[in-house]
């Protein structure tokens, strides 16, 4: 019953994350995964672009051509503190509440933030806390808060 309510993107995401639970990185061929899930290769691109990016705790590399592949690596900011700068750049000038949640969750999962710190940061960046007239202003404020926290974390490394 649950399978019917889930879309193909969710199923592909779950499949790849299950693999990444066991190993730090996975190399896939887009066409093979598309065949396996009976979908078009662009569906695989969509899942990787929207759900496996640095804001979600992943670095994706790809090689095009006949022997091409897509490599997805689960990053650990403790082992790769330079990625904090990349994450700051990825946040840029605005970030949605959902994307902010994902970043905070990854910082917690990587043991960079305690549960209490993560919960405080979630509260401080929530729509309810920011309460500004527009979504654009809200996303801008959330980005500024997260960038300042990340810069502080980088200094403490």
pLDDT of residue 75: 85
pLDDT of residue 5: 53
Q: Tell me the residue range of the domain where 48 lies.
A: 2-74
13, 58 Cβ separation under 8 angstroms = no
25, 74 Cβ separation under 8 angstroms = yes
- pTM of the complete model: 0.73
Residues 64 and 108 in one domain: no
Looking at the structure of the chain, the number of domains it has is: 2
Name the pLDDT band for 99 (thresholds 50, 70, 90). Answer: very high
Average pLDDT over residues 127-154: 95
Residues 24 and 65 in one domain: yes
43 φ, ψ to 5°? -65, -40
Q: What token pair was written down for 125?
A: 């960046």
Q: What is the CA radius of gyration of the chain?
A: 17
Residues 68 and 90 in one domain: no
Q: What's the CATH code of the domain at 52?
A: 3.30.56.130
pLDDT of residue 10: 93
pLDDT of residue 66: 65
Q: In the predicted model, is pLDDT for residue 92 greater than 60?
A: yes
Q: Across the strands, what pairs with 74?
A: 58
Residues 128 and 152 in one domain: yes
Q: 97-109 and 115-124 are packed helices; what angle lies between their axes, rounded to 10 degrees?
A: 170
pLDDT of residue 54: 87
Residues 152 and 115 in one domain: yes
Least confident of 8-22, 36-50, 77-91: 77-91
Return the percentage of the chain with pLDDT > 90, whole number.
57
124, 94 Cβ separation under 8 angstroms = no
| Residues with Cβ within 8 Å of residue 113, at least 6 apart in sequence | 104, 107, 121
Residues 60 and 15 in one domain: yes
Average pLDDT over residues 34-55: 91
Q: In the predicted model, is pLDDT for residue 4 greater than 60?
A: no
Average pLDDT over residues 45-66: 86
pLDDT of residue 1: 34
Q: 115-124 and 135-156 are packed helices; what angle lies between their axes, rounded to 10 degrees?
A: 150
pLDDT of residue 3: 45
Q: What's the CATH code of the domain at 148?
A: 1.10.1200
Among 54, 74, 94, give the residue marking a domain's end. 74
Helical spans, DSSP H, in 23-134 = 30-36, 41-51, 83-91, 97-109, 115-124, 127-130
């Amino acid at each position: 019953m649950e399978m019917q309510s889930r879309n193909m993107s969710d199923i592909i995401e779950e499949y790849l994350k299950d693999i990444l639970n066991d190993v730090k990185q996975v190399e896939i061929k887009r066409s093979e995964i598309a065949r396996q899930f009976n979908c078009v290769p662009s569906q695989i691109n969509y899942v990787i672009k929207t759900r496996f990016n640095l804001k979600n705790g992943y670095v994706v590399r790809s090689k095009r051509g006949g022997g091409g592949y897509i490599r997805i690596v689960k990053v650990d900011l403790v082992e790769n503190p330079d990625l904090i700068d990349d994450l700051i750049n990825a946040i840029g000038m605005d970030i949605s509440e959902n994307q902010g949640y994902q970043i905070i969750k990854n910082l917690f999962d990587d043991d960079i933030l305690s549960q209490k710190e993560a919960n405080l940061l979630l509260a401080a960046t929530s729509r309810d806390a920011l309460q500004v007239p527009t979504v654009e202003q809200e996303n801008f404020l959330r980005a500024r808060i997260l960038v300042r926290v990340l810069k502080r974390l980088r200094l403490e490394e």
